């Protein structure tokens, strides 16, 4: 995965360390990680540490709107799969605009910011009202961020429950980490059983950001009380990002035994932890309490306020104490001061307990969560894309319903469907198609005989083919290739036309795609219901058109190629195919007893080029390719020839590449296309049965091969190629919709019908044409 870790600062102090360690953990798990932060708030040593871990570091150097655009460009340039978010709401808005899945790490909601600003002033009623309004704003903004995220990760069980209680959001939690190995290795052998030394000072340490809610003023007050009976006590407060007003307030309370250090380096912080005897904090919002865990990593017992997640990192009475009130805090602190042995025992336990908060293991646990998020986001994005494409397909197919005349082939279908059932079966036995489509059309005609309504049946088959084609393509190739191939199915002039003609060809396309999807699901799951459904769809396709036999042949060929590698059951497969053929056999026997009308077929030497051209131009219905090349205006002819040559060339090159390389993602789509085409051609050289329009069910796999061929040329060339193909398809669809050449029946069509169709059938069909 390619992951962006978006944070405001790069700093290794306390909680600021979290996104840096997460980035390193994700990189060590094999992901490509880039961390983006504000250039004004970086620690050079932390940047060097990230780069040693092979994490890319990018900085936003501008301000205001320029920073928004810069961060947006930095994110888009990296082309990440998802964003791990650890920054402010303004950065979140930028991340949201990129439309890349966001995993938000929830660090807790801190209220009462206004009271923090006016501390130690006592708030009036008006100031309390302002504070309440700000709290509401904080909650609303946080709620918006949470709802806009694809996934939320809490940093503790407490923050997990807070998410549920405050915002109604369910989330997983992953703890933050203790000091990494490089942080405490030098002092890992520190003696936890020192000899009592009544002259040695007892050092209490407190580390965090210098702000009122951290309770340093209360801690100094308790410390001053304790020093009256314990003159050896020393208090060190190591703070970062100090609030100037609060810092001045603390200095006024400071005695000679209280040491205030601001913005200490990592090396200095190590030294402070090593020298500390007790760690103490009165933080009201320890949503995780990383300094508590850091202290435990150095074998320092802790006394903390029992708030938020403190109980998750300090085990009361074992690794330290948790106080509910300042008085309890005073008592527990005094107890540890007076009992060196207790400090020693709790320090040992704390060090052992801190091992469960190792950054290297906790950060690695983000990877499966991120992978799951990415899969869900891709699935959601894919479904949204397919919904859009299906809607576009419906718009195009329904929009074209009345754009060409109701002609002989359609009138023949309606005439057949209106016959009584025995006469319908008898007449079809004399024709070149089985009865299933006509039975469906007969039921459809019972609702209405209006021309546009009659054609809606084929349009429905064409619309349903789009999501099924997308599902098949997604199983055979990548989302990017599958998405473009589906778009070509939507824009296909050939498929749009036959979705508006009252014939069985779009039903045949739908059945072929369903058969492939069921076959692929059977390969994946080996479940018998899929095999039974596949056999049923194969039977329906054979009862829709005789050319479905070539599709059944293709399915069996692919099964033979995959049988050994997939360890498929031969008996189950052969039984399903045998049942399909046995059920179809009575119709074959019945149809063979009758003399059939001649097929409007061509020699394969002509039919195959016509088939290839039709995938981008159409021309297999009322208006043929011959009509386009002989009667159409020059711009239409030029566009049609260019489209046919371009798409055919790309597809043939991709076919050659697939068969030479034998890559499965390239090879199997080609097998689905070439097997029925070559099989029908081989038979067509012997018997005059080759019909390009009857091979329309291979069109989706032509578009899949075309999409794969474009993708093989690299991102830039592929992008331009896709744009050119789309422009050509859109131009042809627009010409077929707006130009009058495509909305009138060519005169030669009537002569062809009169020359080739049985006069009795022709008379009935012409009556149908006049009727409609």
Residue-wise DSSP of 268-326: HHHHHHHH-SEEEE--S--SS-HHHHHHHHTT--EEEE--TTHHHHS-BTTTEEEESSH
Cα-Cα-Cα-Cα dihedral of 262, 264, 269, 273, to 10°? -20
Distance CA 300, CA 185 (A): 15
Radius of gyration over every alpha carbon of the chain, rounded to an integer in angstroms: 37
The one-character DSSP state at 196 is P
Tell me the mean pLDDT in the region 401-411.
85
Q: Which residues pair with 82 in a beta bridge?
A: 3
> Which phi-psi region, left, alpha or beta, contains residue 761 (left: φ > 0; alpha: ψ -120 to 50)?
alpha
Tell me which of 358 and 275 has the higher pLDDT: 275
Tell me the mean pLDDT in the region 448-457.
92
| pLDDT reading at 748 higher than 60 | no
| pLDDT reading at 199 higher than 70 | no
Pairing of strands 233-240, 258-262: parallel
Distance CA 405, CA 531 (A): 41
Report the pLDDT value the prediction gives residue 676, as an integer from 0 to 100: 94
Q: Where do the domains of the chain lie?
A: 2-173, 181-361, 370-771
- Determine contact, residues 477/668, Cβ cutoff 8 Å: no
The shares of helix, strand and coil residues in the chain, as percent rounded to the nearest 5, are 65, 10, 25
Interhelix angle for 44-52 vs 17-28, to 10°?
10
pLDDT band at 5 (very low <50, low <70, confident <90, very high): very high
Spatial strand order of the sheet with 320-323 comes to 258-262, 233-240, 202-209, 278-281, 302-305, 320-323
Is the bond into 619 cis (omega within 30 degrees of 0)? no
Distance CA 167, CA 140 (A): 9
| pLDDT reading at 626 higher than 50 | yes
| pLDDT reading at 303 higher than 70 | yes
Distance CA 722, CA 711 (A): 9
- Determine contact, residues 3/33, Cβ cutoff 8 Å: yes
Report the pLDDT value the prediction gives residue 490, as an integer from 0 to 100: 96
Specify the residue for token string 């040329």.
Answer: 713
Pairing of strands 172-173, 233-240: unpaired
- Determine contact, residues 730/648, Cβ cutoff 8 Å: no
- Determine contact, residues 312/377, Cβ cutoff 8 Å: no
Same fold yes or no, 2-173 and 181-361: yes
Report the pLDDT value the prediction gives residue 295, as an integer from 0 to 100: 93
Tokens coding 468: 């099924």
| pLDDT reading at 766 higher than 70 | no
- Determine contact, residues 307/289, Cβ cutoff 8 Å: no
Angle of CA points 464, 467, 468, to nearest 5° = 80
| pLDDT reading at 183 higher than 60 | no
pLDDT band at 598 (very low <50, low <70, confident <90, very high): low
Tell me the mean pLDDT in the region 683-691.
88
| pLDDT reading at 467 higher than 80 | yes
Report the pLDDT value the prediction gives residue 563, as an integer from 0 to 100: 79
Distances 581 to 152, 429, 588 between C-alpha atoms, Å:
54, 18, 10
Cα-to-chain-centroid distance, residue 691: 41
| pLDDT reading at 532 higher than 50 | yes
pLDDT band at 772 (very low <50, low <70, confident <90, very high): very low
pLDDT, tens digit, for every residue of 22-76?
898 888 888 899 999 988 778 888 899 999 999 999 988 767 778 888 899 999 9
Specify the residue for token string 């309504």.
Answer: 453
| pLDDT reading at 374 higher than 90 | no
Tell me the mean pLDDT in the region 354-383.
84
Cα-Cα-Cα-Cα dihedral of 173, 178, 180, 184, to 10°? -170
Report the pLDDT value the prediction gives residue 757, as an integer from 0 to 100: 46
SS3 121: coil
- Kindly write down the DSSP assignment for every residue of 560-602, as one continuous string: HHHHHHHT--HHHHHHHHHHHHHHHHHHHHHHHTSPPPPP---
- Determine contact, residues 548/512, Cβ cutoff 8 Å: yes
Q: Which CATH class is domain 2-173?
A: alpha beta
- Determine contact, residues 34/71, Cβ cutoff 8 Å: no
The one-character DSSP state at 85 is E
Tell me which of 576 and 180 has the higher pLDDT: 576
Tell me which of 205 and 182 has the higher pLDDT: 205
Report the pLDDT value the prediction gives residue 762, as an integer from 0 to 100: 46
183: which residues sit within 8 A by CB, 6+ positions away?
A: 266, 270, 294, 297
Query: Is residue 448 exposed (0-12), middle (13-18) or buried (19+ Cβ within 10 Å)?
Result: exposed
Tell me the mean pLDDT in the region 463-473.
96
For all residues of the chain together, what is the average pLDDT?
87
Q: Which CATH number fits domain 181-361: 3.60.15.10, 3.30.460.80, 3.40.605.10, 3.40.50.2000?
A: 3.40.50.2000
Report the pLDDT value the prediction gives residue 267, as an integer from 0 to 100: 85
């Amino acid at each position: 995965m390619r992951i962006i870790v978006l944070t405001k600062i790069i700093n290794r102090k306390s909680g600021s360390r979290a996104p840096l360690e997460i980035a390193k953990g994700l990189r060590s798990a094999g992901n490509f990680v880039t961390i983006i932060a504000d250039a004004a708030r970086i620690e050079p040593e932390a940047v060097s540490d990230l780069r040693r871990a092979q994490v890319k570091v990018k900085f936003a150097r501008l301000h205001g709107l320029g920073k928004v655009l810069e961060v947006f460009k930095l994110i888009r340039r990296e082309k990440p799969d998802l964003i791990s978010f650890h920054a402010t709401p303004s950065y979140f808005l930028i991340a949201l605009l990129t439309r890349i899945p966001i995993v938000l790490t929830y660090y807790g909601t801190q209220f009462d910011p206004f009271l923090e600003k006016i501390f130690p002033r006592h708030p009036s009623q008006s100031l309390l009202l302002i504070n309440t309004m700000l709290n509401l704003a904080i909650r609303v903004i946080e709620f918006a961020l949470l709802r806009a995220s694809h996934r939320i990760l809490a940093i503790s069980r407490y923050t997990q429950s807070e998410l549920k209680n405050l915002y109604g959001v369910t989330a997983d939690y992953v703890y933050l980490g203790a000091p990494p190995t490089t942080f405490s290795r030098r002092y890992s052998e520190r003696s936890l059983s020192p000899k009592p030394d009544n002259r040695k000072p007892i050092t209490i340490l407190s580390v965090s950001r210098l702000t009122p809610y951290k309770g340093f003023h209360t801690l100094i007050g308790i410390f001053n009380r304790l020093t009256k009976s314990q003159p050896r006590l020393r208090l060190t407060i190591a703070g970062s990002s100090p609030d100037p007003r609060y810092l001045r307030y603390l200095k006024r309370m400071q005695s000679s035994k209280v040491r205030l250090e601001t913005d200490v380096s990592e090396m200095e912080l190590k030294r402070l932890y090593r020298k500390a005897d007790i760690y103490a904090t009165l933080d009201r919002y320890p949503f995780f309490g990383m300094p508590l865990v850091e202290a435990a990593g150095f074998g320092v017992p802790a006394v903390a306020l029992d708030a938020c997640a403190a109980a998750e990192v300090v085990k009361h009475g074992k690794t330290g104490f948790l106080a509910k009130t300042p008085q309890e805090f005073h008592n527990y602190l005094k107890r540890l001061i007076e009992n060196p042995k207790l400090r020693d025992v709790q320090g040992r336990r704390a060090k052992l307990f801190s091992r469960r908060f190792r950054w290297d293991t906790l950060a690695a646990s983000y990877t499966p969560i991120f992978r799951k998020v990415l899969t869900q986001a891709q699935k959601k994005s894919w479904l949204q894309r397919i919904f859009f494409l299906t809607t576009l397909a419906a718009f195009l197919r329904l929009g074209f319903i009345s754009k060409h005349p109701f002609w002989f082939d359609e009138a023949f279908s309606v005439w057949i469907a209106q016959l009584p059932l025995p006469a319908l079966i008898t007449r079809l036995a004399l024709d070149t198609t089985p009865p299933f489509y006509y039975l469906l059309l007969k039921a459809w005609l019972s609702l209405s005989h209006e021309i546009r309504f009659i054609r809606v049946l084929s349009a429905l088959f064409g619309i349903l083919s789009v999501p099924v084609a997308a599902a098949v393509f997604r199983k055979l190739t990548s989302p990017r290739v599958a998405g473009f191939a589906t778009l070509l199915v939507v824009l296909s002039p050939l498929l749009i036309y036959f979705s508006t003609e009252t014939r069985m060809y779009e039903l045949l396309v739908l059945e072929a795609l369903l058969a492939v999807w069921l076959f692929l699901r059977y390969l994946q799951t080996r479940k018998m219901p899929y095999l039974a459904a596949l056999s049923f769809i194969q039977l329906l396709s054979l009862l829709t058109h005789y050319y479905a036999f070539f599709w059944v042949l293709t399915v069996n060929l692919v099964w033979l190629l995959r049988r050994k590698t997939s360890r498929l059951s031969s008996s189950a497969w052969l039984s399903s195919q045998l049942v399909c053929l046995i059920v179809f056999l009575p119709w074959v026997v019945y149809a063979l007893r009758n003399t059939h009308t001649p097929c409007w077929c061509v020699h394969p030497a002509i039919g195959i080029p016509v088939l290839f051209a039709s995938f981008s131009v159409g021309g297999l219905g009322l208006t043929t390719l011959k009509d386009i090349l002989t009667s159409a205006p020059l711009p239409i002819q030029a566009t049609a020839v260019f489209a046919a040559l371009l798409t055919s060339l790309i597809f043939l090159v991709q076919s050659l590449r697939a068969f030479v390389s034998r890559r499965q993602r390239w090879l199997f789509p080609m097998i689905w296309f070439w097997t029925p085409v070559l099989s029908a051609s081989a038979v067509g050289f012997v018997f005059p049965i080759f019909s390009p329009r009857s091979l329309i069910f291979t069109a989706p796999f032509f578009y899949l091969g075309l999409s794969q061929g474009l993708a093989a040329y690299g991102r830039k060339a592929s992008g331009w190629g896709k744009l050119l193909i789309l422009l050509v398809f859109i131009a042809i669809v627009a010409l077929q919709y707006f130009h009058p050449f495509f909305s009138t029946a060519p005169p030669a069509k009537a002569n062809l019908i009169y020359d080739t169709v049985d006069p009795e059938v022709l008379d009935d069909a012409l009556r149908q044409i006049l009727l409609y």
